[in-house]
């Protein structure tokens, strides 16, 4: 069962998400709030697997909510679900710790599937958002320390959103070893998330076209 929390100040959108998730047999909505501080207070008393966060909240910025959630022990995965497509706002959310970013015009069944991908280790992101990120990145300099062949192989495996367990099985190594490679890739590319790593890897030509 995937335990979900949602913070969304639009009452209609919040209710639509709640109904969508309630209809999924593998989802359980444990918390649905309209304010960021209410969500953080509620989650101090319970654990969830995924939190969907609107960035335009009435009390505190969604990025603050994301950062607070990701700093906790047993931090949940966090999906930004918002109308904002400004590159600066997108990058702030990703750097705060969001592991997915969807725009609110995403169909509800696609949101549900994206939640499953997130739990499986993927980083679902709306295509327009990915394009904004690509346009924002400056011409990249070669990384200070080149990726090893294995690190580049792991980076290529991240492109399709596969879970770390799936990547480990494909490469014939342990999931813990994959995690270690991913951490080193992040450090060498100076990125903070899988999405940024893939985008920068493409820009640097570290990921093959096929």
Q: What is the pLDDT of residue 208?
A: 62
Pick 130 or 178 by higher pLDDT: 178
Whether 98 maps to a domain, the answer reads: yes
Average the pLDDT over 154-163 and give the result: 82
pTM for the model: 0.68
pLDDT, tens digit (0-9, with 9 covering 90-100), for 3-24 = 999 999 999 999 999 999 999 9
Whether 112 maps to a domain, the answer reads: yes
Mean pLDDT over each residue of the chain, to the nearest integer? 87
101 with 156, same domain?
Answer: no
Distances (CA, A) of 63 to 12, 77, 150: 22, 14, 33
97 with 110, same domain?
Answer: yes
Q: What is the CATH number of the domain that holds 10?
A: 3.40.50.2300
**Residue 139 pLDDT > 80, yes or no?**
no
Q: What is the pLDDT of residue 144?
A: 46
**Residue 121 pLDDT > 90, yes or no?**
no
- Domain hosting residue 144, numbered range: 140-204
Q: What is the pLDDT of residue 172?
A: 92
Mapped to the 3 state alphabet, what secondary structure does the chain carry? CEEEEEECCCHHHHHHHHHHHHCCCCEEEEEEECCHHHHHHHHCCCCCCEEEECCCCCCCCHHHHHHHHHCCCCCCEEEEEECCCCHHHHHHHHHHCCCEEEECCCCHHHHHHHHHHHHCCCCCECHHHHHHHHHHCCCCCCCCCCCCHHHHHHHHHCCCCCCHHHHHHHHCCCHHHHHHHHHHHHHHHCCCCHHHHHHHHHHHCCCCCC
pLDDT, tens digit (0-9, with 9 covering 90-100), for 174-201 = 988 998 898 889 888 888 777 778 888 8
Average the pLDDT over 112-136 and give the result: 83
Percent above pLDDT 70 for the chain: 93
Whether 71 maps to a domain, the answer reads: yes
128 with 146, same domain?
Answer: no
**Residue 61 pLDDT > 70, yes or no?**
yes
């Amino acid at each position: 069962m995937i335990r979900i929390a949602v913070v969304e100040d639009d009452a209609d959108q919040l209710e639509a998400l709640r109904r969508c998730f309630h209809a999924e047999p593998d989802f359980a909505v444990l918390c649905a709030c309209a304010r960021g501080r209410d969500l953080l207070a509620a989650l101090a008393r319970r654990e969830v697997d995924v939190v969907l966060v609107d960035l335009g909240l009435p009390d505190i910025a969604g990025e603050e909510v994301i950062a607070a959630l990701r700093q906790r022990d047993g931090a949940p995965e966090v999906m930004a679900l918002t109308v904002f497509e400004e590159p600066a706002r997108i990058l702030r959310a990703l750097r705060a710790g969001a592991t997915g970013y969807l725009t609110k015009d995403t169909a509800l069944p696609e949101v549900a599937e994206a939640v499953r991908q997130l739990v499986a280790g993927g980083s679902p992101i709306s295509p327009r958002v990915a394009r904004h990120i690509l346009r924002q990145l400056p011409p990249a300099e070669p990384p200070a320390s080149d990726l090893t062949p294995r690190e580049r192989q792991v980076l290529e495996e991240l492109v399709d959103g596969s879970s770390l367990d799936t990547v480990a099985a494909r490469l014939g190594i342990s999931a813990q070893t994959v995690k270690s490679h991913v951490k080193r890739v992040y450090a060498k590319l100076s990125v903070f998330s899988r999405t940024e790593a893939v985008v920068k890897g493409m820009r640097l030509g570290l990921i093959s076209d096929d």
